[in-house]
Amino acid sequence: MELELHTWLSKCNMEFGCPGVYIIPNSTQKALLKNKPICRRNWSVRNWLGQARVSSCSAHDYASLLQNHVSGEEPNLAVTLSNFLYHTHRKGFLDDNSISDICRRIPIIDGADHVRMQRTVTLVPALDSKWMKLFGPQNPFVEQNYVDIGYVYSKSSLFLGESMPEKELLQFISKHSKAVDLPELCPPDVVLQSIS
């Protein structure tokens, strides 16, 4: 793992405190990267780390671990996970395909401020959406796991000293979770009432 990525994931791991995930100190990582793999001492250290079940972790692997770490009881962690993904992507540690894959699976805080662990479809936020104009401010498809992205993502935020302007995270999550609105939305087969 390159040193810049290692340093970033180490800082993130201190923020999240993901159980069972330990990242070796930067100085150790730097020494392992600096010495050539053929060096006997480096080989011994790498061999020992392998026997201790220490393994390399990509940004994608770490994001997947975090996804499993975030639960419905801690809504702030869902937003923090989204911030992590945004900044990790911006730094170039995750490409668009990886981000989109992860964003389709992460927990989302919906328009009612509930953490939704599972979803069938991600809806654009209610405000200014076509589905809200037709059905009203309450998500009519919530029972079918159609989850609308909450307004909490529109706030400006700070993650590990890096700021994000208003609505930036909301746009990022909407884009990469493939959020839809009418007419792209294919509603489930349920009886709905329209607003008058």
What is the model's pLDDT at position 91?
Answer: 95
Does the residue 105 lie in any domain? Answer: yes
Q: What is the pLDDT of residue 131?
A: 83
Q: Which residue, chain included where needed, has tokens 């509930």?
A: 114
pLDDT of amino acid 102 = 92
Name residues whose C-beta falls within 8 Å of residue 12's C-beta, 6 or more positions apart in sequence. 62, 84, 88, 160
Is 196 part of any domain? no
pLDDT confidence of residue 36: 55
How far is it, in rounded angstroms, from Cα 131 to Cα 151? 16
Provide the CB-side half-sphere exposure for 181 (13 A, CA).
Answer: 14
Instruction: Confirm whether 140 is domain-assigned.
Output: yes
CA 145 to chain CA centroid, nearest Å: 19
- End-to-end Cα distance, the chain: 58
Answer for the pair 187, 194: CB distance below 8 angstroms, yes or no. no
Q: What is the pLDDT of residue 139?
A: 83
Asked if the structure places residue 52 within a domain, the reply is: no
Tell me if 116 is assigned to some domain.
yes
Beta carbons of 69 and 19 less than 8 angstroms apart: yes
Tell me which residue has tokens 């999550």. Answer: 173
Tens of pLDDT along the chain (196 residues)?
588 998 999 999 888 887 778 887 878 777 777 765 555 555 676 677 777 776 778 899 999 888 888 866 678 889 999 999 999 999 999 999 999 999 988 999 998 888 888 888 888 888 878 888 888 888 888 888 889 999 999 999 999 999 999 999 999 999 999 998 878 877 677 776 655 5
154 touches 167 (CB < 8 A): yes
Determine if residue 191 is left, alpha or beta; phi over 0 gives left, psi from -120 to 50 gives alpha, anything else beta: beta
| Amino acid 196: pLDDT | 52
Say if 132 falls within a structural domain: yes
What are the structure tokens assigned to 175, written together? 């884009």
The total of structural domains in the chain comes to 1
SS3 178: coil
Range of the domain at 82: 62-176
pLDDT of residue 182: 77
Q: Give 72's contacts (C-beta < 8 A, 6+ positions apart).
A: 107, 114, 115, 117
- Does the residue 191 lie in any domain? no
Asked if the structure places residue 2 within a domain, the reply is: no
